[in-house]
Amino acid sequence: MSKQKDFEKLKAPNQPTTYSSEQLQEFVACAKDPIYFMENYLFIQHATRGKIPFTAYEFQKELIRTYWQNRNTIAMIPRQSGKTTTAAGYLLWYAMFNPDVTVLIAANKFRAASEIMLKIKYAYEELPNFIRPGVESYNVQSIEFDNGSRILATTTTPDSGRGMAISLLYLDEFAFVKPTVASAF
């Protein structure tokens, strides 16, 4: 996909949105419940089936509820179970429906952080305009919405997030971060 087409899928910042009564009800339902938002509006890229709607397994719903209802969560979940896709959907929901928050994704490798950001961007680009916020900035490592919220992706280093007011921190593969880096972080 060309870069021009990528930007065509973004909603311009600070544009007024006109809602039908059904759209307004849907927006409110999405804002109130991340599971509702994800199961009704989130599309993901499946490895073999391409673009598909996100359909959560019960353990994924429990993970989303756990993220939502607890300040601190440690999830030890097997590989290839959809945990990163679930987290990406939740992080997108959190930034879209909570103004002026900063979400930081820190992963043990830049590639892993970038993969999570790609999942978030894909999900955002496939949302209908009446649900998604406008975009102020959109690049490899960050998205900034016109509601004042932003999502940033980086590697886990002793300086990751230093000096930032972080509202939600998502640490991916933290068990694989070198102990000296983890303790300094």
Residues forming the active site: 173
CA distance 2 to 126: 16
Q: What are phi and psi of 156, to 5 degrees?
A: -80, 110
- Residues 4, 94: Cα–Cα separation, whole Å: 27
Collapsing DSSP to helix, strand or coil, 43 comes out as strand
> CB-based contacts of 10: which residues, under 8 Å, 6+ apart?
125, 134, 135, 138
The interaxial angle of helices 21-32 and 34-41, nearest 10 deg, is 130
3 state SS of 152: strand
User: Which residues are paired to 142 by β-bridges?
Assistant: 139, 152
